[in-house]
Chains A and B, each alone.
Chain A
Amino acid sequence: KAGVTQTPRYLIKTRGQQVTLSCSPISGHRSVSWYQQTPGQGLQFLFEYFSETQRNKGNFPGRFSGRQFSNSRSEMNVSTLELGDSALYLCASADTGSDTQYFGPGTRLTVL
C-alpha cells in the first residue's frame, strides 16, 4: 500500500496570506490527524477527522481549520499567516479503531 502523501512538500508565503495543505491517507484509513512541528514546541496536535467529521481539536486559534472529503483525503487551511506559523505540518492516518498513526513526509511552510 502507498503511504500517506502530502502536497506540497515546501511552501513559502508572506504574512497575511492564507495557505491550504493537502493530505491523502493510506488506502482504507478513515482517520486523518494533523500536527504542527516546530523546534520550540515540538509536535503539537491540531485536529483529527474521521468520516468527514472533526472529532477532536487541539489548542490552536481559529485561523487553523481543516476538512475531510468523502474519499478520506483531508485539507488544512491557515488564514492570515503569521511568522510563527512557520513549521513542518504533518498529516497522519490511522485505521478505524486503531491508535497507531502513520505519518506523511510533511509540508514545510515558511512564512516571510
Chain B
Amino acid sequence: GQQLNQSPQSMFIQEGEDVSMNCTSSSIFNTWLWYKQDPGEGPVLLIALYKAGELTSNGRLTAQFGITRKDSFLNISASIPSDVGIYFCAGQSTVDRGSTLGRLYFGRGTQLTVWP
C-alpha cells in the first residue's frame, strides 16, 4: 500500500508562534486533505487540495499541494490554545484510481501542543 510520512510527530509551541508540518508519499496523489482530530472525536476537514501547486487558505491555516504531487504541507500562523490537537494528512493515490475509489491513505499525525 501507499506510505505516507508525516512530520514532525509532535510539536510543543508557544501561543502566537507559527507552525509547519508536512507529508510525503511514495507515489503520486490526486488529492491531499488535511484534518484535525480532538480526543474522542472524528477528524474534521480543514483544507482540501486538488491540483499540483495549489495553495489554499482557511483562516490562519494555509496548505499546499506539492508540484511533484508526492507531498503537501500545512502551516498554521499565530497559533492559539484551541489549535491543540492531532493533525492528519490524507491522500487519494492516482495509482489506485479506478480500483480503490473512496480509499484515503493517512499519515500518522502531528500532535500539536500550544502553551499560553
- Chain A residues with a Cβ under 8 A of chain B: 4, 6, 31, 33, 35, 42-43, 45, 48, 50, 55-56, 58-59, 88, 90, 92, 94, 99-106, 108
- A99-B92 CB under 8 A given contacts A90-B43, A105-B42: yes
With A42-B107, A43-B43 given, can you name 9 additional A-B contacts, CB distance below 8 Å? A43-B90, A56-B100, A56-B102, A92-B42, A99-B31, A100-B48, A101-B90, A103-B45, A105-B41
Asked whether, in the complex, the Cβ of A103 is within 8 Å of the Cβ of B108, the reply is: no
By secondary structure, the B interface counts as loop
The 10 closest A-B CB pairs, nearest first, are A48-B102, A103-B42, A99-B31, A43-B106, A99-B92, A106-B42, A105-B42, A103-B43, A100-B48, A56-B100
CA distance A102 to B90 in the complex (A): 12
Quick one: which of B10-42 are within 8 Å of A by CB?
Answer: 30-31, 33, 35, 40-42
Of B30, B44, B101, which one neighbours A48 at CB under 8 angstroms? B101
Chain B residue numbers with a CB within 8 Å of A100 are 31, 33, 45, 48
- What is the distance, in angstroms, from B48's C-beta to the closest C-beta of chain A? 5
Query: What are 18 A-B interface contacts by the 8 Å CB criterion?
Result: A33-B102, A33-B103, A35-B106, A43-B88, A48-B102, A50-B101, A50-B102, A56-B100, A88-B40, A92-B104, A99-B30, A100-B45, A100-B48, A103-B42, A105-B41, A105-B42, A106-B40, A108-B40
Within 8 A of A (CB), among B66-116: 88, 90, 92, 99-109
